[in-house]
Amino acid sequence: MSLDASTPSKATPPPAQRRRVSVLGATGSVGQSTLDLLSRSTDAFEVVALTGHSNVTLLAEQAKASCAKLAVIGDAARYGELKAALTGTGIRCAAGPEALVEAAAEPADCVMAAIMGAAGLRPTFEAARQGRRVALANKECLVSAGDIFINAIAAAGTELVPVDSEHSAAFQAIAGSDPSGIERITLTASGGPFRTWSLEQIEAARPEQALKHPNWSMGRKITIDSATLMNKGLELIEAFHLFPVSIAQLDVVVHPQSIIHCLVSYTDGSVMAQLGCPDMRTPIAFSLAWPRRMAAPTERLDLVKLGSMTFEAPDEVRFPCLGIARAALIKGGSAPAILNAANEIAVDAFLEKGLGFLQIAHLVSDVIEAADVRGLARPPAGLEDVLAVDAESRQLARTMLRAYV
Ligand code: NDP
Ligand code: MG
């Protein structure tokens, strides 16, 4: 089952009504961009629930500025701080993982799912179950629980609109076309900050160097994933679940300017591409307003100023994570969930505990192998099974990490 980009369903309200939007992960990079857009279109949108994890100050500010009805902080220990910050505003507040799920269930037309990592699974699933349109930034839902999540969307009869720029681009390039005519989907990758570095240089890369993405401004975790190309690997898995293609029909090309976000090739030789300056507010705006369009204050594409665009094949020797992710997709079952869990631990260890940059790939690969031996790579029966595999893989990754640092 894959995404149908051509027909808005019952979750699309008539244009005269203000669309009610909840933002999960409001304090993050995607969340802040979402609120920036919503604040510029208050005639078309109203804010319902906002969530954060640790940043109480920003969450309270956002809730007040957007006149949200509910603010939820994931870290239960910060409830008192949030309550104090919102006293006298009339904005309800709550805390803890269960409250995040309740925020997702709050009556709304659209839920922006922008929590980072597997922590976003439960709330995003709840939004789907409740029949909300899901604007999906949290790619982990599709990586770790792809079929189950797509089935949950279908069972609720609601819509899934991708926010990831490449998938938003593919969604737009496919809309209205006969899906059986799709020959290939090519995701573009910037190549990250180490695109031109030698293997020896990459081996010695430090967190502050990996956090300097050449084109996109994003959260820390996805910025490291962009430097290792694991992000593109996760996006291959995401695309596989979103669009009606086989693994063999999915490709990656490095395009350092990040202007073309995805190309969809058809059986008649036609190639549809979506272009735009690299600013997440464009795909976020698309997901919020679809099937209409809303204004986004992004830099406009000037082809003459740009001059040229270049392309190259990804180098899987210097960037082994791409191949590791593709292998997990081919293996199927829970292998992608194990990959994601191990990678979250590895990236955190690179940022905080001195794990080497290339060791991220080694650790992830070792964890997938060890998890497979333990029978963890079995096909997941449902969300709870995915979460159990995720937890066990994290534990395994933490244990195996000790041999590295
Ligand atoms: P950030 O790290 O900037 O923000 C993450 C958000 O999730 C914050 O609101 C954070 O709260 C919250 N959060 C973190 N941990 C938890 C937790 N355990 N429980 C509940 N909430 C939590 O991430 P991004 O905005 O960069 O990315 C968000 C998602 O979107 C990711 O899945 C990413 O892959 C995807 N994405 C991001 C893109 C981008 O441009 N940034 C592009 C495409 C996809 P707090 O800050 O309060 O601690
Ligand atoms: Mg992307």
SS (H, E, C) the chain: CCCCCCCCCCCCCCCCCCEEEEEECCCCHHHHHHHHHHHHCCCCEEEEEEEECCCHHHHHHHHHHHCCCEEEECCHHHHHHHHHHHCCCCCEEEECHHHHHHHHHCCCCEEEECCCCHHHHHHHHHHHHCCCEEEECCCHHHHHHHHHHHHHHHHHCCCEEECCHHHHHHHHHHCCCCHHHEEEEEEEECCCCCCCCCHHHHHCCCHHHHCCCCCCCCCHHHHHHHHHCHHHHHHHHHHHHHCCCCHHHEEEEECCCCCEEEEEEECCCCEEEEECCCCCHHHHHHHHHCCCCCCCCCCCCCHHHHCCCCCECCCCCCCCHHHHHHHHHHHCCCHHHHHHHHHHHHHHHHHHCCCCCCHHHHHHHHHHHHHHHCCCCCCCCCHHHHHHHHHHHHHHHHHHHCCCC
What is the CA(374)–ligand 1 centre distance, in A? Answer: 30
pLDDT in tens, 88-101: 999 999 999 999 99
For range 224-228, the mean pLDDT: 98
- Asked whether the predicted pLDDT for residue 36 surpasses 80, the reply is yes
Q: Which CATH superfamily is domain 19-163 in?
A: NAD(P)-binding Rossmann-like Domain (3.40.50.720)
Best of 23, 53, 102 to mutate for ligand 1, by most ligand atoms within 8 A of CB? 53
Residue whose Cα lies nearest atom 40 of ligand 1: it is 218
User: What are the backbone dihedrals phi and psi of residue 74, each rounded to the nearest 5 degrees, phi first?
Assistant: -65, -35
Q: Say yes or no: do domains 19-163 and 332-401 share a fold.
A: no
pLDDT for residue 17: 87
- What's the CA gap between 285 and 146, in Å, rounded? 24
> Does ligand 1 have an atom closer than 6 angstroms to the CB of 30?
yes
Among the bound ligands, the one closest to the CA of 81:
1
> Does ligand 1 have an atom closer than 6 angstroms to the CB of 132?
no
Say how far residue 310 (Cα) sits from the centre of its chain. Answer: 25
- What's the CA gap between 272 and 264, in Å, rounded? 5
pLDDT confidence bin for 181, thresholds 50/70/90: very high
Residue whose Cα lies nearest atom 36 of ligand 1: it is 137
What average pLDDT does the structure give for the chain?
96
- What's the CA gap between 330 and 80, in Å, rounded? 47
pLDDT for residue 176: 84
The alpha carbon dihedral of 360, 361, 364, 365 has a sign of negative
The CA distances from residue 398 to 125, 141, 224, in Å, are 27, 22, 19
pLDDT for residue 1: 41
What is the CA(218)–ligand 1 centre distance, in A? Answer: 9
The alpha carbon dihedral of 192, 298, 3, 377 has a sign of positive
pLDDT in tens, 236-266: 999 999 999 999 999 999 999 999 999 999 9
Neighbour order of strands in the sheet with 182-189: 250-254, 182-189, 260-266, 271-275
**231 CA: nearest ligand 1 atom:** 34
- What's the CA gap between 348 and 127, in Å, rounded? 28
Report percent pLDDT > 70 for the chain. 96
Best of 30, 136, 236 to mutate for ligand 1, by most ligand atoms within 8 A of CB? 30
> Does ligand 1 have an atom closer than 6 angstroms to the CB of 278?
no
**59 CA: nearest ligand 1 atom:** 47
pLDDT in tens, 62-97: 999 999 999 999 999 999 999 999 999 999 999 999
The half-sphere exposure of 327 on its side-chain side, counting CA atoms within 13 A, is 14
Looking at domain 332-401, its CATH class is mainly alpha
- What's the CA gap between 392 and 395, in Å, rounded? 5
pLDDT for residue 147: 98
Strand partners, 359: none
- Asked whether the predicted pLDDT for residue 6 surpasses 60, the reply is no
pLDDT in tens, 127-175: 999 999 999 999 999 999 999 999 999 999 999 999 999 999 999 999 9
Vertex 152: Cα angle to 148 and 155 (nearest 5): 130
What is the CA(117)–ligand 1 centre distance, in A? Answer: 7
What is the CA(327)–ligand 2 centre distance, in A? Answer: 19
pLDDT confidence bin for 8, thresholds 50/70/90: low
> Does ligand 1 have an atom closer than 6 angstroms to the CB of 213?
no
Best of 115, 163, 216, 236 to mutate for ligand 1, by most ligand atoms within 8 A of CB? 115
Q: pTM for the complete prediction?
A: 0.96
Lookup: tokens for 55: 């940043």
pLDDT for residue 11: 56
pLDDT for residue 13: 53
What is the CA(209)–ligand 1 centre distance, in A? Answer: 20
pLDDT confidence bin for 56, thresholds 50/70/90: very high
Among the bound ligands, the one closest to the CA of 169:
2
> Does ligand 1 have an atom closer than 6 angstroms to the CB of 314?
no
Give the residue extent of every domain in the chain. Answer: 19-163, 177-195+207-276+301-306, 332-401
Contact 49/106 with Cβ under 8 angstroms? yes
pLDDT in tens, 341-384: 999 999 999 999 999 999 999 999 999 999 999 999 999 999 99
